[in-house]
Amino acid sequence: MTALSDLTRPWAAMSYGFLDASAKREMRRKMLKAIAVPGCQMVYASREVPMARGWGTGGLQVTLTLVNPSSTVKVIDQGADDSVNAVSIRKFLSRVSGAKETWDTLEATIIQSRHRIPEELMREDQVLVLQVPNPEPLRPVEPNMSIAREMHADADYGRLWLILYEQMVRSGRIMQGASYPALVNGRHVMTPSPIPRWDVPKLHMARHLTFLSAGREKRIFAVPPFTSVQPLVFSDVPYRVEDHAELTCHRSGVTGYFMNEIPQEDGSSAYEVSDSNLGIKAIRIRDGEPVKIGETWYRKGAMQ
C-alpha cells in the first residue's frame, strides 16, 4: 500500500520561487499574452509578496515566475545594485529560488530594474524586467481606465499627441523627461516606465525580451525581441536624449554615459555614472583587474 508520504512532497515553508504554482501559471499566461500583443497592457491578478505595493511588486512577480535554479539575477534601482531596495530584492530572489546573484550585466540572465536600463548591450538569452508605477500612458488624458482601454483598442491616440503639441506650443519643445510615450510594433502606445529619454531607444529592435510590470495597478506589458519602439515625436522635431556626451564620472572617469548630477556645496555639480556597476568595472580596470566592459548602446553620448 502506498503511503501518503510517497504521494506528497516534503513540507516546505513556501513554494519554489515564493509564488505558488497557480500564481505562476497566471503570470505565465499573461506574460505570453503580453508578448503576443506587444505594448498592450494585460491585466493580471497581482499576488501579495513580502513587500509593500509601490516598491516593485509587479517586477518582482515577473522575476519570481521566470527564475529557476540556473538563473543569475541582477537587481538595480536607478542604476545602482547597492541601494537598499535593490539589495533586499536580490537577496530575497536568491533565497527563494537558489539563483545566483550578480552585479554584472554581462553575467545576469534576469535583470530587474527600477527606472533605468543598463548601458551594456543585452543579449537574446537575457530578460529585462522593468518596474512600472503607472502603466497607463493615457492617464493624463483620460483618467477613466475603461475609456482608456477603448482608446487603446481603437488606436485613438489623438489626445495624447495633443499633449505633445501643446508642450511644443507653450515651451517650444517637448517637455516630457521620463516615461516618454512610445509606439510599440506600430500599434500600441506604452509608457516605457519612468526611464529617462536616454534609455528609450535601447528598447527599439533589442535582442532581449523586456517585461514591464505594475503590481499595484495589476498590469503587465512586454516588448518582444526585435520589435519596433518609437517614441512619439513630430517628424520635424527630432527626438532628443539628455545631453551627457561631455560629462565625466568623477569617481570612475567614464565619459559620455547617462550621469547622475550631484550638487556640490559651492553650487557646481559633480557627475556620477548612473549605471554604477559600469563605473565599478571601469575603476577595477583602472586598478589592473581583468574585468570586461561589454559593448554599450551609447558611445560618447550618441546612440550606436
| Binding site residues, other proteins, CB under 8 A | 154-156, 158-159, 161-162, 165-166, 168-169, 233-237
7: phi then psi, degrees, rounded to nearest 5: -90, -25
- 156 vs 242, beta carbon nearer other proteins: 156
- 16 vs 239, beta carbon nearer other proteins: 239
- 226 vs 234, beta carbon nearer other proteins: 234
State the cell numbers at 132.
512600472
Q: How many CB atoms lie within 10 A of CB 62?
A: 28
User: How far apart are CB 168 and other proteins at their closest, in Å?
Assistant: 6
User: How far apart are CB 145 and other proteins at their closest, in Å?
Assistant: 19
- 117 vs 148, beta carbon nearer other proteins: 148
HSE of 87, CA atoms in CB hemisphere, 13 A: 3
- 32 vs 162, beta carbon nearer other proteins: 162
Alpha-carbon gap, residue 45 to 36, rounded angstroms? 19
Alpha-carbon gap, residue 146 to 106, rounded angstroms? 41
User: How far apart are CB 40 and other proteins at their closest, in Å?
Assistant: 15
Q: How many helices (H) and strands (E) does the chain have?
A: 8, 14
User: How far apart are CB 170 and other proteins at their closest, in Å?
Assistant: 8
User: How far apart are CB 186 and other proteins at their closest, in Å?
Assistant: 12
- 146 vs 235, beta carbon nearer other proteins: 235
- 54 vs 158, beta carbon nearer other proteins: 158
User: How far apart are CB 273 and other proteins at their closest, in Å?
Assistant: 34
Q: Which residue has the cell 513630430?
A: 234
Q: Where are the beta strands (DSSP E) in the chain?
A: 42-43, 72-77, 100-101, 110-114, 127-131, 182-184, 188-190, 209-214, 219-223, 229-231, 259-263, 269-273, 298-299, 302-303
Cα angle 75, 132, 26 (rounded to 5 degrees) comes to: 85
Nearest to 34 by CA among 130, 120, 126, 104: 130
- 21 vs 155, beta carbon nearer other proteins: 155
User: How far apart are CB 229 and other proteins at their closest, in Å?
Assistant: 17
User: How far apart are CB 237 and other proteins at their closest, in Å?
Assistant: 5
The answer to whether the Cα torsion of 226, 193, 191, 275 is positive or negative is negative
DSSP per-residue letters across 104-152: -TTT-SEEEEES---SBPP-TT-EEEEE-S---TTTTT---HHHHHHHH
